[in-house]
Structure 1
Amino acid sequence: MTQEKSRKVTIAEVARLAGVGTATAGRVLGGYGYSSEDVRNRVHKSARQLGYKPNQLARSLITGVTKTIGVVAGDIQSPFYSSVLRGIYDISRAEGFGILLTGSDEEPQKEIEAVELLIQKQVDGLIVAPSQLSGAEHLQAFVATGKPLVQIDRIVEGLDTDAVTVDNVTASRRCTAELIAVGHRRIGIVAELEWWQGGNFEDFIAGVLEGSVSSDHLFPSWQRLLGYLQAHLEAGVSVDPALVARVGTYSIDAATAAIASCFRHSAPPTAFFSTDGLMSAALMGVLKAERLSIPQDVSLVCFDDLDWMQFHEPTISAVVQPTREVGETAARLVLDRIADATRPPRVSMLKADLILRGSIQPPANSV
């Protein structure tokens, strides 16, 4: 038994049933040019009656609109980007747009290739988490095409576009301040701090102490370090650079080694602040290996509230990022600019909330 192949309805058949010319039917179904309301109603009624499905590729060649938004995520495996993508998808789909997803693995060359691919796919707009915060000629070139670009999570210096970020500095300052408030003075921090465009690590700390470092064009991990340092300054607590577990290669092994070195210090930390989920996992591993209890031996607060943190005993104090809102806001900015390319760029900085649980208490040696 053979199955009869379904025949594709042509635009000429729709035109004939509607009593109009093929060109007129094409304009109505393609959404371009002028046609009277009566003609539009007849064409759409005929299309529905015949089960006509428009050729999206042909339509995009005529209108220059593909109804797609390109997304370049830094790490498509991370919970952060998974939630951001959910927000982008929900808003885009509600407006009849699809998304084309690719990633950079936080590598500039991969990002360049991803953007080139999305340009070839003729996306109507681009949402990207930039992997470099200066230069970025490929993003400048995309903006020059006249199509909208929205930066998320970080902002390239000199790239004047819409953007959505999280207020990492304020949230991290509050995390550290909570630890200081209960008596901690030896507070460790673990973060991916591979490089800073303003100089070396020591230059960054000196700049923060002098008040000359701006958070505008920093990677999130450096912004969180900035908040940590600011909290010390505001409380009049000295900063020991030896308690900064600086991770160069973003891996749990590198983070574990950096954290372990802090606990080998002659005056080890009594509290620790981890700046993302992977760093938190590494920190938990070190505390277990060292047989250190939370919060009796080490108080703990983490950036990114992962599922296990509210079920761990004790529960872990953590910062909740508005990840889905980041995606929703980015999608709205792209769609708004597609509708009106003349408005000034907008930068939306979203608040991150700290949830205090059971992982913070005064240090054991406090009076």
Structure 2
Amino acid sequence: MDQNPPRSTSVTVADVARKAGVSKATAARVLGGYGTVSDPVRDAVTAAARALDYRPNELARSMTTGRSGTIGVVVGDIENPFFSLAMRGITDVARQAGFTVILINSGEDVAVEKAAIRTLLAKRVDGLIVSPAKESNVDHLQEAARSGRPLALLDRGSETLDVDTVIADDRHAAEGITRRLIALGHRRIAYITACDTPDHVFRVPSDVNTGSVRRRVEGFLGVCREAGLQGMEGWVRVGAITPDHTRGIVSAMLQSSERPTAIIASDSVIGLEVFKTSRAAGIAIPDELSLVSFHDADWTSVTSPPVTVVRQPVYRLGETAAKLLVERLNGYEASARRVVLQTELIERASVADAPA
């Protein structure tokens, strides 16, 4: 007679223990991932759970182990391919470590980010990975860190948060592409970002609350100053928060008597709109306008011409943040770590000498 309970009923730890021929306590240790058991016993319990299609009671397990088996992640814009790829890195590591990921999109809005953190803490996530919308507004992240749950920052660091942080070498990357454009004779170089100010006008780098973008702008302006270019702050355009906004910004620049000869797009979503708007205006890339975009999105290699990009280690950013967090969850207690990953300039065909 088949000893397996009907599939329509809820399979319990006791059912798994009975089938595996072990005590309920032993089965609970294996299924809960705590305590020590021999490999043969673990294999027997795992096989029994699989055969019975056992589904753990997450609430009961969290009450027993103090763990929910979940990691909360808050990012700025999941429609941006950058964050989508970073999430892939996070989820791959989390899954291998036995964690489920709960993702919340902040839309780069601090109020939404704060609500997301409250929601995730209420759900008793074991740890958090956050890409802060504003590095100047992180009190809620301080509180989350003080709650005892490990916190890792993704792509954007903070001077006031002593937590594990993973970023790319954004400043160095921006310096490199700016030097390259200046060497090709470009002087009217625009930098376009989705970051914004209350009056939609950029004045100084501290206007930019997103650390990764601020480091790029600082690198851009620093190299321009070294080259003797004055007033380049006026070439930093903010507020490209949607495709429509980006088209408006680019169209106005291209219709100006002081038209840029090169544009640096702060992400691939902006880069795509620059490409499309330039083409619609009949401006040839790269003969009349050079274009460089941060992030090696799929579209950048198949356009005509293909677009020169700063390839960021996006998957590794997510992967590394998740690894640091899992290490914390497994008992790592040393001081906070700051990991800086290298970028790479991929030269294609969208950059040329400045037009005469």
1:241-281 Cα shifts (integer Å, max 9, x gaps): 4433x232611222222223333433322222221122212
- SS state at 1:192 partner: coil
In the alignment of these two chains, the number of paired residues is: 346
Residues 260-269 or 42-51, more deviating: 42-51
Query: What amino acid maps onto 2:202 in structure 1?
Result: F
Larger Rg: 1
Aligned runs of 1:314-353 on 2, under 5 Å? Answer: 314-353=305-344
Aligned partner (choices 110, 123, 126) of residue 125 of structure 2: 123
Q: 1:237 Cα deviation (Å)?
A: 2.9
Aligned partner (choices 204, 221, 224) of residue 232 of structure 1: 224
Structure 1 position 294 matched with structure 2 position 285: yes
Mark the CA change 1:46 to 1:99 in structure 2 (over 3 Å): closer, same or farther.
closer
- SS state at 1:202 partner: coil
Aligned runs of 1:28-39 on 2, under 5 Å? Answer: 29-32=31-34, 37=38
Distance (Å, rounded) in 1 between the aligned partners of 2:160 and 2:272? 35
Whether the 8 Å contact between 1:247 and 1:255 is mirrored in structure 2 is: no
Whether the 8 Å contact between 1:271 and 1:299 is mirrored in structure 2 is: yes
Query: What amino acid maps onto 1:236 in structure 2?
Result: G
Distance (Å, rounded) in 1 between the aligned partners of 2:296 and 2:45? 53
1:162-203 Cα shifts (integer Å, max 9, x gaps): 01111111111111111111111222222234139xxx8334
Look up the match of 2:91: 89
Mark the CA change 1:268 to 1:68 in structure 2 (over 3 Å): closer, same or farther.
same
Look up the match of 2:3: none
1:36-58 Cα shifts (integer Å, max 9, x gaps): 75xx9558636744746343321
Mark the CA change 1:278 to 1:16 in structure 2 (over 3 Å): closer, same or farther.
closer
Mark the CA change 1:221 to 1:26 in structure 2 (over 3 Å): closer, same or farther.
closer
Aligned partner (choices 245, 255, 258) of residue 267 of structure 1: 258
Query: What amino acid maps onto 1:108 in structure 2?
Result: V
Mark the CA change 1:67 to 1:90 in structure 2 (over 3 Å): closer, same or farther.
same
Query: What amino acid maps onto 2:333 in structure 1?
Result: T
- SS state at 1:72 partner: strand
Query: What amino acid maps onto 1:329 in structure 2?
Result: T
Tell me the C-alpha RMSD between the 2 structures: 2.8
Structure 1 position 281 matched with structure 2 position 272: yes
Whether the 8 Å contact between 2:204 and 2:233 is mirrored in structure 1 is: no
Look up the match of 2:298: 307
Mark the CA change 1:45 to 1:167 in structure 2 (over 3 Å): closer, same or farther.
same
- SS state at 1:140 partner: helix
Structure 1 position 161 matched with structure 2 position 163: yes
Mark the CA change 1:43 to 1:97 in structure 2 (over 3 Å): closer, same or farther.
closer
Distance (Å, rounded) in 1 between the aligned partners of 2:184 and 2:297? 24
Mark the CA change 1:299 to 1:350 in structure 2 (over 3 Å): closer, same or farther.
same
Whether the 8 Å contact between 1:297 and 1:364 is mirrored in structure 2 is: yes
Distance (Å, rounded) in 2 between the aligned partners of 1:153 and 1:144? 21
Whether the 8 Å contact between 1:337 and 1:343 is mirrored in structure 2 is: no
Distance (Å, rounded) in 2 between the aligned partners of 1:150 and 1:142? 11
Aligned partner (choices 115, 123, 143) of residue 145 of structure 2: 143
1:278-312 Cα shifts (integer Å, max 9, x gaps): 22123223322332111111122121222222222
Whether the 8 Å contact between 2:240 and 2:270 is mirrored in structure 1 is: no
Structure 1 position 220 matched with structure 2 position 212: yes
Distance (Å, rounded) in 2 between the aligned partners of 1:60 and 1:124? 10
Mark the CA change 1:49 to 1:154 in structure 2 (over 3 Å): closer, same or farther.
closer
- SS state at 2:129 partner: strand
Query: What amino acid maps onto 1:192 in structure 2?
Result: A
Query: What amino acid maps onto 1:289 in structure 2?
Result: A
1:190-221 Cα shifts (integer Å, max 9, x gaps): 2234139xxx83344xxxxxxxx799x74333
Query: What amino acid maps onto 1:72 in structure 2?
Result: V
Distance (Å, rounded) in 2 between the aligned partners of 1:47 and 1:352? 42
Distance (Å, rounded) in 2 between the aligned partners of 1:171 and 1:243? 18
Distance (Å, rounded) in 2 between the aligned partners of 1:268 and 1:49? 70
Mark the CA change 1:234 to 1:76 in structure 2 (over 3 Å): closer, same or farther.
same
Mark the CA change 1:343 to 1:82 in structure 2 (over 3 Å): closer, same or farther.
same
Structure 2: runs of 5 or more not aligned = 1-5
